[in-house]
């Protein structure tokens, strides 16, 4: 597979929440490794544009796509636009997430739980669904890979800080195992990466929210 300029391409990769932190780093590295990158963001257009500009200036291809991953209609638009602009999908990195801020369980609100699980779990599952529909050999695709960005919080529980966030990442881990077994025979690899504490805007904003 090659781009119009003749350079070898590894296909189209969608990175959700790619305007900052881990998502931005993944998108930049993917661009350097030969992927055409769909740089997704929810609100910070400038940050996403900076990531895409970095990829393009390094000789890669990228497009910026706004979509709120907690909304199914916007997820559908993201995937359709990415393939229309960059070509067939070969990979997805489910990175978009929120912490819901620091709070003990007795203080957590239903609204916060709904927001966290809508993005971190349901949104990731819907993105994976759309990726499978496009990449699975059962549906005429050529295979690919899905990487879910989990967290060490899923193992240690986040007590006293964000049990709600840890629980959402635990759900993502379970989903990863199940989906990996389900689509292994259809040419799709599914893995999760569980970083420890990384100094990113995600953590900084959680601190600010409780300050």
Write out the catalytic residue numbers. 165
Tally DSSP H helices, then E strands, for the chain: 8, 6
The three-class DSSP label of residue 142 is coil
How many whole angstroms separate alpha carbon 177 and alpha carbon 168? Answer: 15
At 51, list the tokens.
Answer: 């990531």
How many whole angstroms separate alpha carbon 168 and alpha carbon 200? Answer: 19
Spatial neighbors of 113 by CB under 8 A, at least 6 apart, are: 100, 164
How many whole angstroms separate alpha carbon 24 and alpha carbon 51? Answer: 6
Instruction: Assess contact for 153 and 169: CB atoms under 8 A.
Output: yes
How many whole angstroms separate alpha carbon 92 and alpha carbon 79? Answer: 10
Residue matched to tokens 């497009």: 63
């Amino acid at each position: 597979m090659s781009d119009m300029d003749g350079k070898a391409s590894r296909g189209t990769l969608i990175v959700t929440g790619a305007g900052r932190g881990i998502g931005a780093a993944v998108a930049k590295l993917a661009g350097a490794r030969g992927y055409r990158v769909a740089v997704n963001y929810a609100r910070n257009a400038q940050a996403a544009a900076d990531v895409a500009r970095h990829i393009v200036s390094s000789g890669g291809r990228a497009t910026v796509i706004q979509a709120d991953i907690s909304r199914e209609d916007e997820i559908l638009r993201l995937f359709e636009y990415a393939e229309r602009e960059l070509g067939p999908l070969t990979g997805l990195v489910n990175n978009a997430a929120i912490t819901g801020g620091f709070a003990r369980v007795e203080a957590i609100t239903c609204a916060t739980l709904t927001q966290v699980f809508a993005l971190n779990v349901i949104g990731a599952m819907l993105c994976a669904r759309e990726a499978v529909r496009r990449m699975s050999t059962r549906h005429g695709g050529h295979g690919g890979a899905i990487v879910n960005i989990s967290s060490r919080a899923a193992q240690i529980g986040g007590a006293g800080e964000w049990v709600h966030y840890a629980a959402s990442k635990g759900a993502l881990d379970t989903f990863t195992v199940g989906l990996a077994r389900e689509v292994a025979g259809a040419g799709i690899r599914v893995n999760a990466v569980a970083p420890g504490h990384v100094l990113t805007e995600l953590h900084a904003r959680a601190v600010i929210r409780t300050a």
